[in-house]
Structure formats: C-alpha cells, structure tokens
Amino acid sequence: MAGEDFGRRTTPAPTGGAARIPDGRIGLSTASVYPRGATAAFDIAARLGYDAVEVMVWTETISQEAGALVQLSEHYGVPVCSIHAPTLLLTQRVWGTDPWVKVDKSIELAEEVGAGTVVLHPPFRWQREYAAEFVEGIAERGARTEVRLAVENMFPWRARAREMQAYLPDWDPTDVDYDHVTLDLSHTATAGSDAMAMAAQLGDRLSHIHLADGTGSYKDEHLVPGRGSQPCAELLESLAGQGFSGDVVVEVGTRRLDDEQRELDLAEALAFSRLYFAAPA
C-alpha cells in the first residue's frame, strides 16, 4: 500500500455528474502516526494522497516551529490545514504552563504556516481562572485573527459507576457561545452523545471535523472510521450535501501498530472518507 496515491484530488471536482464533492479537505493528524513524529506524518500523507496535515503541538520540537513545518509542507507538497493547541494532559508543560500563552502561540503558529484553524480543548475543571475567562477570551482572540478557533467536544470522565465533569464550562460545546466548534466522533462515542444531533444543533458553527470512531467505551478509542458505532458515513454524507468547506481530519490511534499496518489503517481511513464525503448532485 505504501507509495500509492490513495485518491488525492488534484483537479477541481466537476460541477455536473452523479456526485457532489465539497470543497472541504481530507487531512491527516500527526497524532494518527504517534509515536512517530511530524516528518512521518507528512511523508505518509503525501504518499497515501491526503489533502493536508493537522499538526498536534507536542513535545517534539518540529511540531512547535513554524520554519520546520513550512519546510516539511513544501518538501512533501502537503499544506498544514490546522494546528492542535497543546491543551492535553500530556502537553501541560509545552510552551510553559500559562494556558493563554499556549493559545496565543498556537494562533501565531497557525498564521505563520498558513493554517486556517486552531483546535482547542475546553479548560480542565481545576483551571478555574482560565475557565472563567475562556469563552470571552476565545471570542476576543477570534476577532483579532482570520484563523478559526474551533473548540472541541470532549466527554465526562468515568470510572466504574462514577462520572466526573472534567471540563469547564462544559465538555459539550453546543450550548456554549463559541463561534467555531470541532466535532470529534471518538469523543461523541465516549460521551454517549448523538453526533448527528450535535452537528445539526451547531449548524454553521461546525467548522472542523476529527474523523474517528468508537464503540461507546469509557476509553477514548479513536478507531478507524467504520469500525465502531458512530455515524461516520452518515455525517460525512450530510456535510457533503450541505457543501461543507471545513476540513475533515483523520485522527485515529495507531501507536501499537507496526509501520506497515499503520499505513494500511490510514489508507483505509482515507478511502472511507473519500467514499462518503460526497452527496448526490
């Protein structure tokens, strides 16, 4: 499978015919190749035929440096569509400990590499001062940049019969006043959310997709789309019918796989995306 162009769209989609192909790109998250790094992600994206790459800002130095990312993008001919801010538990010390510094540096990095979106997680409940300012602070920063600041849906933390609200103001962004939202289908599985209902409620505020699957486990599974219970195909077809122009980014877990199986899984995820991200003309 390695070395094949798995469906990259190199010419404009025709306006006639049986299917309507929206303008939104199919991207590959660098998180999908972990523990390999950003260079591997660009290489795999180019060979398999992904349209773009989302860079998860990580402890890896390359993921934090605009110059290095621009060189990778130019070398492999794959643009950076989005930056995922270092707002995970494992990246708490990347770019220091001030959460607003992380947001601001992520916006700056996106502007420098030409990415249109910064993906953000809502604050953890123990970040109370940050949480109290979060909605207003994101709105203020969004007004100063052309980069979309898309807050991601999360999920309650569960252990046995107990459930904890781990995020503020909420893990569910649908009723929070964000201009842009990222919908992650692994997270809807873990939360027990209705992904189609969330997409409908968000309407035009839905600007970015993390495409993955899940079975409803308490673990955030990030399965290849089509291997779980989430309406991945239905959502892609619905978005295509609406002419969705945001990016659909494959974010699946491959850390326990060898290189060959990783590429097979990522090729399968891309093929799934191409198949269903279309609608009757």
72-106: pLDDT as tens digits: 999 999 999 999 999 888 888 899 999 999 999 99
Domain-located, residue 14: no
Domain-located, residue 237: yes
Domain-located, residue 256: yes
Query: Beta strands of 71-122 (E only): which ranges?
Result: 80-84, 117-120
Asked if pLDDT for residue 10 goes beyond 80, the answer is no
CATH of the domain at 248: 3.20.20.150
pLDDT for 280 equals 87
Domain-located, residue 6: no
Domain-located, residue 211: yes
Q: Do residues 213 and 232 touch, judged by C-beta distance below 8 A?
A: yes
Asked if pLDDT for residue 166 goes beyond 80, the answer is yes
Domain-located, residue 13: no
Domain-located, residue 10: no
| pLDDT tens-digit readout, 220-259 | 999 999 999 999 999 999 999 999 999 999 999 999 999 9
CA quadruple 88, 113, 239, 11: dihedral sign: negative
| pLDDT tens-digit readout, 15-71 | 556 788 999 999 999 999 999 999 999 999 999 999 999 999 999 999 999 999 999
Domain-located, residue 4: no
Query: Beta strands of the chain (E only): which ranges?
Result: 19-20, 26-29, 52-56, 80-84, 117-120, 148-152, 157-159, 162-164, 180-184, 206-211, 247-250, 279-280
CA quadruple 37, 63, 142, 151: dihedral sign: positive
Supply the range of the domain harboring residue 100: 21-156+163-280
Asked if pLDDT for residue 7 goes beyond 70, the answer is no
140-151 residues labelled b (16+ CB within 10 A) or e (exposed): ebbeeeebbbbb
Work out the angle at residue 81's Cα, subtended by the Cα atoms of residues 59 and 98, and round it to the nearest 5 degrees.
40
β-partners of residue 158 are 163
In the chain, how many domains are there? 1
